[in-house]
Amino acid sequence: MKKAVQTILGFAALALASAVQAQATKTVESKEIGVRLTIPKQWDTSCMTSGFCVNCAPTKGENGRHACYISITMYKAQPGQMSITDADRAKWKGWVSAGGMRTILSAEDMKVGGMPAYHIIEREGKRADDTFGSNVFVLVAGEGKMLRVSFNAILKPGDYELYKPGFMKALQTLVPIP
């Protein structure tokens, strides 16, 4: 029975990933942050005072926040910095864990559009059924700029896996613009 459920869930995830790949897309950008990315056409964008935001779900919680959103903020990096350091990784883990309020589940180096990046997956709280989020820190090498791309699916535990394929696909289209 357990194997059958795992197989069904695997097929459902594959179907969702295929649907994400087949979706119509649009390109959006923020001149303020200096980024451009491609997102599914039904997602919308809005600007926040501290960054750039993409709403990736039509549903909202009782607090008015979307079930899924991606926010991008820009920070200064060391001038001429070409790679992510261990000190960067430790600092970013501290930011994400928020003094122990969030549990870090995994952290790994990756590339985003060919740029060095560090991906941290966290759980919003200490309970096993709390929601998940991702923070991807992208170094725009040599430009003294670092981008923090946060992906949050906040209404129910299954939202993270539901919207993650679209987030990962959009993330790989991220490019800096002047």
- pLDDT value, residue 60: 73
CATH value at residue 121: 3.40.1000.10
- pLDDT value, residue 116: 97
- pLDDT value, residue 50: 64
Does residue 87 form part of some domain? yes
Sheet of 25-30: strand order equals 25-30, 35-40, 175-176
Does residue 104 form part of some domain? yes
- For the chain, the distance separating the N- and C-terminal CA atoms, rounded to the nearest angstrom, is 54
Does residue 68 form part of some domain? yes
Does residue 128 form part of some domain? yes
- pLDDT value, residue 10: 45
What kind and span of H or E run contains 163?
helix 159-171
Query: Which pTM value belongs to this model?
Result: 0.81
Does residue 4 form part of some domain? no
| Domain interval for residue 83 | 25-176
- pLDDT value, residue 22: 59
Does residue 19 form part of some domain? no
Does residue 132 form part of some domain? yes
Does residue 98 form part of some domain? yes
DSSP letter assigned to residue 60: B
How many Å apart are CA 97 and CA 45, to the nearest integer? 27
List the chain residues with pLDDT less than 50: 1-20
Total domain count for the chain? 1
